[in-house]
């Protein structure tokens, strides 16, 4: 206890300037475990569809319930913790996720599945605003880099999850989902240590009267509001399209190219791994070149590749999925940090709003696209969703608020 206090009680004069990489990589690994467990839900869709004879509409509804519970609470939790930080809420978040996966492993009805994914969603809604604040506190001013490291953990977890489901759950059945609870137990241990650092860090700030507030941006309230709306529309574009990939890419490959469940999961893993790579590069590039340009490139730049995807053979489908994943994923870190800079001192609320909206759009997109797939075909879903990145043209209306990076 004494040694841990000494390690956390770093030179308080450098508190705001020092990038605490140990904390950033720890919270990123916790994010990896959290999102790995969450990715079990869409990864088990083919198994659940077969076990319960589900329609695509019902699969979309599962995602909608999960994303709805993961999205609605986040802005409120973020708003509350901006005023009263709750370091140990991160542990509570992991407990909700463990409970949800445990219930999913023994679910015997569609209603039980919905309850289980709702519990995982609640865990997500508690985790993300506070975990994003930890990344902010540990950034030392390198916010894009810190957010990318944090997001990389989540994307890596989302990529590894389907692979583990293919290896652990697919050959043995739904009950083997229980093995993913081990990740939650590890996560509780890591988050308990992070909570100690977080608590000590806030105490040091209070003692030194170091504020989390930054200088306000030189923009009118109207311009800030318009910018937030534009950013949310870009989030809509990104995550509505991502819903088509994360929820239905395996079904698309199975339908169009007659792949099996395991083989299609490997392709999903490749796509999600490319998303993780894109996330890592997006934040630092935003720090260096300006977030507006990275946002523009990431959303609109994905459009040529998404438009080609429905017409590609299996080989080029894999190649295009990698390119799309890298390009489109580089935006989120830049969007989130850009929004945090628009509203200084509101890290939790902004993180909750944007994570929540992202999850909400993912859930809504999954439900709508599932309905369209039932009414038409899974291939048609990819034809219409390919136009969504064109919304990236709206990035033109974002003001340049980032000052040149000082060397």
Mean pLDDT of all residues in 311-316: 95
DSSP notation for 40-72: HHHHTHHHHHHHHT--HHHHHHHHHHHHHHHHH
Neighbours of 16 (CB within 10 A): 15
Cα-flanking dihedrals φ and ψ of residue 345, to 5°?
80, 0
So what's the pLDDT on residue 14? 45
Quickly state the pLDDT bin for 279 (edges 50, 70, 90): confident
The burial of 155, by beta-carbon neighbours within 10 Å (0-12 exposed, 13-18 middle, 19 or more buried), is given as buried
- Identify the weakest region by mean pLDDT among 79-93, 201-215, 308-322: 201-215
Check pLDDT > 80 for residue 178. Answer: yes
Check pLDDT > 50 for residue 406. Answer: no
On whether the pTM is more than 0.85, the answer is no
- 141 backbone φψ class: left, alpha, beta (φ>0; ψ -120 to 50): left
Check pLDDT > 90 for residue 238. Answer: no
Most confident residue range from 182-196, 210-224, 244-258: 182-196
Mean pLDDT of all residues in 188-206: 85
- Identify the weakest region by mean pLDDT among 16-20, 311-315, 333-337: 16-20
So what's the pLDDT on residue 12? 39
So what's the pLDDT on residue 208? 60
Quickly state the pLDDT bin for 342 (edges 50, 70, 90): confident
Dmax (CA) of the chain: 64
Most confident residue range from 111-125, 205-219, 361-375: 111-125
Encode 124-156 in three state secondary structure: HHHHHHHHHHHHHHCCCCCHHHHHHHHHHHHHH
Mean pLDDT of all residues in 38-60: 88
So what's the pLDDT on residue 206? 65
d(CA 209, CA 356): 31
So what's the pLDDT on residue 216? 59
Q: For residue 109, give the DSSP letter.
A: S
- Identify the weakest region by mean pLDDT among 19-23, 158-162, 200-204: 200-204
At 180 the three-state DSSP class reads helix
The torsion defined by the Cα of 227, 229, 231 and 232, in degrees rounded to 10, comes to: 170
d(CA 228, CA 234): 10
């Amino acid at each position: 206890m004494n040694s841990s206090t000494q390690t956390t009680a770093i030179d308080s004069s450098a508190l705001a300037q020092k990038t605490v990489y140990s904390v950033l990589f720890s919270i990123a690994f916790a994010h990896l475990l959290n999102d790995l467990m969450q990715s079990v839900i869409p990864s088990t869709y083919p198994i659940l569809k077969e076990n319960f004879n589900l329609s695509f509409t019902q699969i979309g509804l599962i995602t909608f319930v999960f994303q709805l519970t993961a999205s609605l609470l986040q802005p409120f939790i973020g708003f509350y913790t901006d005023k009263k930080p709750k370091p140990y809420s991160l542990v509570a978040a992991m407990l909700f996720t463990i409970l949800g996966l445990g219930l999913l492993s023994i679910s015997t009805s569609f209603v039980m599945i919905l309850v289980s994914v709702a519990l995982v969603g609640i865990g997500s809604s508690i985790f993300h605003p506070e975990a994003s604040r930890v990344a902010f506190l540990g950034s030392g001013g390198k916010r894009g880099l810190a957010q990318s490291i944090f997001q990389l953990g989540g994307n890596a977890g989302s990529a590894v999850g389907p692979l583990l489901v293919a290896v652990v759950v697919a050959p043995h059945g739904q009950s083997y989902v229980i093995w993913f609870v081990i990740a939650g137990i590890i996560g509780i241990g890591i988050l308990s240590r992070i909570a100690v650092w977080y608590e000590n860090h806030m105490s040091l700030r209070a003692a030194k009267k170091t504020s989390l507030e930054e200088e306000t941006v030189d923009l009118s309230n109207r311009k800030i509001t318009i910018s937030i709306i534009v950013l949310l529309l870009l989030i809509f574009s990104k995550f509505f399209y991502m819903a088509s990939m994360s929820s239905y890419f395996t079904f698309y490959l199975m339908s169009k190219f007659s792949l099996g469940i395991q083989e299609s999961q490997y392709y999903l893993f490749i796509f999600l791994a490319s998303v993780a790579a894109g996330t890592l590069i997006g934040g630092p590039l935003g720090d260096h070149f300006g977030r507006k340009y990275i946002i523009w490139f990431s959303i609109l730049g994905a459009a040529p590749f998404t438009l080609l995807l429905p017409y590609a053979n299996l080989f080029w489908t894999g190649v295009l999925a990698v390119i799309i994943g890298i390009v489109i994923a580089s935006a989120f870190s830049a969007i989130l940090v850009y929004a945090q800079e628009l509203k200084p001192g509101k890290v939790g609320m902004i993180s909750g709003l944007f994570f929540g909206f992202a999850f909400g759009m993912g859930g809504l997109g999954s439900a709508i696209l599932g309905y369209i797939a039932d009414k038409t075909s899974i291939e048609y879903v990819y034809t219409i969703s390919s136009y969504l990145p064109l919304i990236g043209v709206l990035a033109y209306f974002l003001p340049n608020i980032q000052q040149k990076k000082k060397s």
